[in-house]
Amino acid sequence: MENLIVIKIGGNSIETLTQTFFSQIRQWMLADKQILIIHGGGSKISELSDKLKIPVKKIDGMRVTDAATLELTRMVLLGQTQPQLLMKLTKANIPAIGLNAADESILDGSFLDKEKYGLVGKINKVNDKLLDEVLEKHVAVLAPMALTAKQQWLNVNADTAASKIAGLLKAKKLYLMTDVPGVLHEGAIVRNLSPSTAAKLQEQKIITKGMQPKIKAAFSALNLGVPSVQITNQLSTLGTTIIQEGANENAIYL
């Protein structure tokens, strides 16, 4: 999809979206860009888990998912965060349709590591025909859950899902939106981030476990052929641009 822009939005970010965000979406649609939004909901899932006394366990920033956590995740993503985002888009006069894995098997997946993470998956295939039809006139809002060949629901990290989907669909841009303006080092935005600099920042614990899946997903998208990958809190600002090793990094001194 040569005009596709993929945007990943976390659950917290949905509540703080500004008019600038919706204005940018409208401008892109007027320019015949296709917009696919992958939405998360991690903080809401953790919050509800605490209320229901369901233990929260993460390994390297990935949520370990048992049957109870899976049902809770589906409840939050499909019953809370997706409708919330759709309402905001509608209020901003942006035509949008919500989608999930059960819609014509839009997201086929398999277990990431069942023994380690439980009911957590990875995306293997996207129903691009269905998406192309929806994206012709609408913004698509897609939940990051997949179905296996045996119809088992799987929880998929939203950053990982956005990265793989962007790669499979040959998107032109991927925005991984977060609640900070980019990867930060001593209060300043790291404008360009290569694998070696990312490794150094992780060693120094500047890139924390919560950010690690996002960084990993960003480099994965770049390696899958997505030419432009940004980590930012605003579509109107570049934030941190993900670059290949050896590209001009405008050196950050570590």
Q: Residue ranges for the binding site for substrate?
A: 41-42, 63, 155
Catalytic (active site) residue 159 = yes
**CA-to-CA distance for 6 and 160, rounded, in angstroms?**
12
Identified catalytic residue from 159, 164, 216, 239: 159
3-class secondary structure, 58? strand
**CA-to-CA distance for 37 and 30, rounded, in angstroms?**
17
3-class secondary structure, 178? coil
Identified catalytic residue from 10, 11, 40, 167: 11
Identified catalytic residue from 10, 40, 42, 121: 42
| DSSP-H helix ranges across 55-106 | 67-76, 82-91
Catalytic (active site) residue 42 = yes
> Running DSSP on this structure, what letter comes out for residue 43?
H
Q: Where are the beta strands (DSSP E) in the chain?
A: 4-9, 34-39, 58-59, 62-63, 96-99, 107-111, 121-126, 139-142, 145-147, 153-155, 173-177, 184-185, 188-189, 192-193, 228-232, 240-242
**CA-to-CA distance for 215 and 201, rounded, in angstroms?**
11
Identified catalytic residue from 8, 164, 173, 216: 8
> Running DSSP on this structure, what letter comes out for residue 81?
I
Catalytic (active site) residue 209 = no
Catalytic (active site) residue 44 = no
Binding site as annotated, residues: 41-42, 63, 155
**CA-to-CA distance for 104 and 89, rounded, in angstroms?**
23
Catalytic (active site) residue 216 = no
Q: Tokens 């962007």 sit at which residue?
A: 166
Identified catalytic residue from 44, 164, 214, 216: 214
Residues annotated as catalytic are 8, 11, 42, 159, 214
